[in-house]
Amino acid sequence: MHPTLHLPNHLLNLTPNDFHLIPLFLPNLQRLYTREHLLHLLSPIHYPPPTPTLHIHIHPLRKKVAQADPYFLQTLYPLAYKPTPPINQSKSP
């Protein structure tokens, strides 16, 4: 049984890697995450995986979350990723 993420009108099945990334992104919207930082979080051993590994983890997560919010995870190519608040979330003054 895989963990799930409940979004407005969407229920997403998460992989173990998705499950590790989502708690990082959600409480820290608008924060930039460098590729190196995310690689370290996914594989904290002293020999991080090759850089394409990160794309392999981020791409499916972005595709799943895009069903609810296509702008949730932005790529600031080639250096970083940035989660953003939902489009329909109102900003307080």
Encode pLDDT of 24-80 as tens digits: 887 888 888 888 788 777 776 666 566 677 778 788 888 888 888 877 888 777 667
Q: What is the C-alpha R_g of the chain?
A: 14
Q: What is the pLDDT of residue 89?
A: 52
Q: What is the pLDDT of residue 38?
A: 80
For 4-83, the fitting CATH number among 3.40.50.10420, 3.40.640.10, 3.20.20.70, 1.10.10.10 is: 1.10.10.10
Q: What's the whole-model pTM score? A: 0.64
Distance of alpha carbon 3 from alpha carbon 92, whole angstroms: 32
What is residue 53's three-state secondary structure? helix
Question: Residues with Cβ < 8 Å from 23, sequence gap 6 or more?
Answer: none
